[in-house]
Homo-oligomer: A and B are copies of this chain.
Amino acid sequence: MAGRINHRWLLKSRPQGMLTGDEFEWNEAPVDEPGPGQFLVQVAYVSCDPAMRGWMTDRRSYVPPVAIGEVMRAGGAGTVIASNHPGFAVGDLVSGTPGWQEYAVTDGRGLLPMRKLPPGTDLRASLGVLGGTGLTAYFGLLDIARPQPGETVVVSGAAGATGSIAGQIAKIKGCRVVGIAGGPEKCRWIVDELGFDAAIDYKSESVSHRLRETCPNGIDVYFDNVGGEILNAVLARINTKARIALCGGISTYNASAPVPGPANYMQLVVTRSRMEGFLVSDYAARFDEAIAEMTRWIDEGRLISRDTVLEGLEEAPRALRMLFEGGNTGKLLVSVLPPA
């Protein structure tokens, strides 16, 4: 695209402990023409997700780390503006993993492959409640944790993008739901607006004590986004045949030394329980089914979502730090402003 400039964030160095923002380098380059089988996306929103911290670290995982000098890997959504790909046409709305940049040349492949969205789709929702985070909540809760009506479900990171959806789906399935979140405003939101039965403010309350109060019959399902001491406190209260869906461990991602594992893991034996990890990308073949069901719940007013949006791609590193500091409620996005 002759003359257009692509602004982008490259990974400059690997973080040690908490992100400083200096790990990224602001860079510009000409926008490439798509080659055979490729198309060009003008990115409208990029996503900030806890998993991105892991992609910055050089260790064996489910995807290779982002290379130094490479565009930072990130979910995102936008519009196709040029195409040599038979499956994508100019004007198509898409979501996938374009990275932190204004323009992405892609063959459609990626950690979450590029998906064509119906015309008129809300691009923010396509990244949040009807995108990677909502789908993570859906499959982690329903496929891994499998809550039954009347069971007690605890969700950590409960005011975050994934936790807020997981808790609401558990309510839809007839469970008693307790959310753990940081600060009174987040706790108020999940109870008063999302309909959780109770909230625990881990920043000002004893999680162990409050789990005892709010889960008098023990815990059947735990949807874990945070790991660390909260996971350990939950393990002490699980019921027979409990299920722990391990979604993430955000409390540990920025640690500069190894974090001890959950000392109470032997409760899994005593209670004959299961702790299981999962990745949403394994469920790609079932995304349409899940999106259809969640769309119905949204239309019925039973599934509510909130986005926190920072304006301008320049804000992306600051947004990612905000995520780990708990500054967001719901899905954290960065809008990529169109060129002036």
Contacts and interface: CB of A to CB of B under 8 A. Distances in A.
Interface of A: 54, 61-62, 227, 232, 240, 246-249, 252, 258-279, 282
A262 to B, nearest CB: 4
A266 B244 CA distance: 13
Given A273-B276, A279-B272, A262 B259 contact: no
Contacts of A268: 246, 275-277
Task: Name the residue in A62, A277, A279 with the highest tally of chain B Cβ atoms < 10 Å from its Cβ.
Answer: A277
Contacts of A262: 261-262, 265
Given A273-B276, A275-B275, A276-B268, A261 B263 contact: yes
Contact of A227 (B247, B248, B266): B266
Contacts of A248: 269
Contacts of A282: 272
Contacts of A274: 274-277
A260 B264 CA distance: 9
3 nearest interchain CB pairs? A261-B261, A269-B277, A268-B277
B232 A270 contact: no
Nearest to A63: B270
A271 B282 CA distance: 11
A262 B278 CA distance: 18
Contact of A261 (B246, B247, B249, B265): B265
A259 B249 contact: no
A279 B270 CA distance: 8
A269 B261 contact: no
A282 B272 CA distance: 9
A277 B266 CA distance: 8
A264 to B, nearest CB: 7
A248 B270 CA distance: 9
Contacts of A271: 62, 277
Given A232-B261, A260-B260, A260-B261, A252 B266 contact: yes
